[in-house]
Chains A and B, each alone.
Chain A
Amino acid sequence: MKAPKPTDREAPNVAWTVMNNLIAGILVYGGLGYLIGLWLGNAPVGLAIGTVFGLVASTFLIAFRLRQLDGGPNTQREA
């Protein structure tokens, strides 16, 4: 089955996906960092490092997603 083509109406979806991904990244890696920090005996440092890492990771994911959506190898930019 073919997914519908992205349109202008998907703009809010893209915006909110970006936000969801950012929150999820912070949650996952912030949480993981916190746990590792707890284990190593310095939870706040672990939390801080994890949060930053999560932000970077989700930014990468978002960039990847957007490139796929617009300007990727098989999009009809010139058309």
Chain B
Amino acid sequence: MQGAVVPMSEVEPGCHLGSGCGFPAPDASIFDIEPYFGNFTKPVFLLLLGSLLIIIFFLAAFRRPQLIPSKLQSIGEMGYLFIRDGISREVIGKDGDRFVPLLFSIFFFVWIGNLWGIIPGAQFPVNSRFAFPVGLAITVWCIYMFLGMRHQGPIKFFTNMMFPPGMPKAIYIILAPIELISNVLVRPVTLSIRLFANMFAGHLLLTVFTVAAFYLASPSVIGILGSATSFLMTVIFTAFEALIQALQAYIFTLLTAVYIAGSLHAEH
């Protein structure tokens, strides 16, 4: 583990990595992975592999759809219905059905990208590299801006956004810029940062406990207790991460649907 070495005097007797060494605290450098070749790094590889796996899975699930679905087809349909009924129809309504493929792709793309964080061997959440959530957020931004301008008119879209009905007239001057900046600028920023920060923090947390479990393992009471506790925490946080990863993918998709819905119908 490269990066800052923080001496921890309490655990000095249980120092695992040679005598006198401090606890090798993981820092942001664990996210800097040497590229395999050129600019082809591990996250890029995992992303491509993940996309391929999704494609293969759903091709296999829906290749020969049957009235009485096979196991694989049932799982695929569950995923589809979750996005269509749980997100699209709930948020956008019936005319949101044409966005189901988009939402479906976003959800599974984000989820598999996150899921790599706890898959043994891979253990790197793709979305903890900021560029990936940013790319996704820019895509979403382009979609809802375009849809809004097409469905509400290029100028009406912004005026609807800036002047929600039912407000005292004088207040508009103060609040309209906030609405505009909030919807046009801040939305994609928070959308990407939320996903990135969750994955970044989760990976860092898992690394800290994994390193601690390894580092503390030594023939002493503190070492054994600490190592066992750290290992237990690693397991607990891995389960916790699994939840967060699915949740973040869900929130990303849900907010995409909400933004699309906001572009389709002006506020009342």
Contacts and interface: CB of A to CB of B under 8 A. Distances in A.
A10 interface: yes
Nearest to A8: B90
B167 A58 contact: no
A4 B92 CA distance: 7
Contact of B255 (A3, A12, A61): A12
Contacts of A64: 167
Contact of B178 (A1, A2, A54): A54
Contacts, number: 73
A49 to B, nearest CB: 14
B178 A9 contact: no
B190 A16 contact: yes
A7 B85 CA distance: 14
B178 A4 contact: no
Interface in B148-201: 164, 166-167, 171, 174-175, 177-179, 181-183, 185-187, 189-190, 194
Most buried by A among B186, B190, B254, B264: B186
Given A20-B190, A23-B182, A12 B254 contact: yes
A23 B164 CA distance: 19
A12 to B, nearest CB: 6
B167 A1 contact: no
Nearest to B167: A64
B190 A23 contact: yes
Contacts of A20: 182-183, 186-187, 190
B92 A24 contact: no
Given A12-B251, A16-B255, A60-B175, A3 B267 contact: yes
Interface string B101-135: 00000000000000000000000000000000000
Given A4-B92, A24-B185, A19 B190 contact: yes
Interface string A1-32: 11110010110110011011101110111000
B182 A21 contact: yes
A24 B91 CA distance: 24
Given A10-B258, A13-B258, A21 B178 contact: yes
Contacts of B178: 21, 24-25, 28-29, 54, 57-58, 61
A27 B181 contact: yes
Contacts of B255: 12-13, 16
B63 interface: no
- What are the 9 closest A-B residue pairs judged by CB atoms, nearest first? A24-B182, A24-B181, A3-B265, A20-B186, A20-B182, A13-B258, A28-B177, A24-B186, A25-B178
25 contacts: A1-B264, A1-B265, A2-B265, A3-B261, A3-B267, A4-B93, A4-B261, A9-B91, A12-B255, A13-B255, A16-B194, A17-B182, A19-B190, A20-B190, A21-B179, A21-B182, A27-B181, A27-B185, A54-B178, A58-B182, A60-B171, A60-B175, A61-B179, A64-B167, A68-B164
Interface of B: 86-87, 90-93, 164, 166-167, 171, 174-175, 177-179, 181-183, 185-187, 189-190, 194, 251, 254-255, 258, 261, 264-265, 267-268
Interface of A: 1-4, 7, 9-10, 12-13, 16-17, 19-21, 23-25, 27-29, 54, 57-58, 60-61, 64-65, 68
